[in-house]
Chains A and B, each alone.
Chain A
Amino acid sequence: MTTLVPVTYKGGVYRHDEIMDLIDDLGGYIVQKHVMAQDVVLQSFVPRDDIDLIRTVVKPLAGDVIEAPLVGTEIAVVSPSLEIHHLPHTACDIAEYLRRSGAKTNMIGLARGFGKRIANLNDEERDVINEHDLAVYVLGNFEECIEHKFPALRRGIQVPIVVTGAPDRETLARIVDPPVEGYVGGVGRIMHRFKRPEELAKLDELGTRSPAPWTPGGTPLHGTRSPSSRPA
């Protein structure tokens, strides 16, 4: 039986229709096509055995085929607010990195996510988050704060949740009750864009912790893209 794997094709507009025809002819599917000025991004499922063939065909077109385990998912990146107090750098970097692995991400800054004691989630926010396939909560540095605040921020959420915060993974798993689907520790209030290797490793870890629907257990993102495609 042919196994379809999720991949992203990045290349130019020139002759991209041939790539689309090739994927169709091989028995694959194109899930989403983005045309941005001169660039084309195709998110698709292709037979595992034919990836090398596609790579060979796109080489003269300077295209790139990257494994993207999250193709076809829509993910909510939830931050207590989008103000500088909750440092949107982290949320933006996480949203952008998940997009690289094929997901469509929406950032949701809560209207009343401030304050350990008074944080809340309104019905519109709850319903919008529930329309996604997964919610990634971007929380802060303090264990005490996450412990008190998170139950309010997750009330009524029925989709799988991944929690990020500065405490390590074991601590997050201990203080979050009932348990959620994933924890990524060591991502707290970072006052700059992610650029150091250990920070990028955390983003890779997040990509693998997000439940990848099409590949059980998720595909590690390490080594699937060239270093030059990482943010400078």
Chain B
Amino acid sequence: MAIVEEQIPEVTMLTHPTPVTAQMEGLRVKLPYDLYADDVRSLDVTGGVTVGDIADVLPSRMRNYILIRIKPFSETRILV
């Protein structure tokens, strides 16, 4: 969540009460999917590992939001 808020400044300009919403399996980012999905996927988590490597970035059925679902360790074999 901190990475999204730090590296995509548009998130801080949104007027939604919770522009980035925490869920148990991931996050909901209230930015348009078409414009920002690739930016979110390429966010650097640490040491060259990107969000796209450790999570699925999906279009949400709720408006045009972005849904991030964290992949399990057994699938990614990446420990951050």
Partners in one complex: yes
Determine if B23 and A73 form an interchain contact, defined as CB atoms under 8 angstroms apart. yes
Determine if A131 and B24 form an interchain contact, defined as CB atoms under 8 angstroms apart. no
Determine if B21 and A133 form an interchain contact, defined as CB atoms under 8 angstroms apart. no
Q: Which residues of B contact A72 (CB under 8 A)?
A: 22-24
Q: Count chain B CB atoms within 10 A of each CB in A72, A128, A131 and give the residue with the most.
A: A131
Determine if A31 and B60 form an interchain contact, defined as CB atoms under 8 angstroms apart. no
Determine if A32 and B24 form an interchain contact, defined as CB atoms under 8 angstroms apart. no
Q: Does B25 contact A (CB under 8 A)?
A: yes
- Total B residues in contact with A, Cβ cutoff 8 Å: 13
A133's partner among B17, B24, B67 (CB-CB below 8 A) is B24
Determine if B17 and A34 form an interchain contact, defined as CB atoms under 8 angstroms apart. yes
Consensus secondary structure, chain B interface: loop
Determine if A74 and B22 form an interchain contact, defined as CB atoms under 8 angstroms apart. yes
Determine if A104 and B18 form an interchain contact, defined as CB atoms under 8 angstroms apart. yes
Per-residue CB proximity of A154-198 to B under 8 Å, as 1/0?
Answer: 000000000000000000000000000000000000000000000
Q: What is B's interface to A at a CB cutoff of 8 Å?
A: 1, 17-18, 21-25, 28, 60-62, 67
Q: List 29 A-B contacts (CB under 8 A).
A: A31-B1, A31-B22, A32-B1, A32-B18, A32-B22, A34-B17, A34-B18, A72-B22, A72-B24, A73-B22, A73-B24, A74-B21, A74-B22, A74-B23, A74-B28, A104-B18, A104-B21, A104-B22, A106-B62, A127-B61, A128-B61, A128-B62, A131-B28, A131-B60, A131-B62, A132-B23, A133-B23, A133-B24, A213-B24
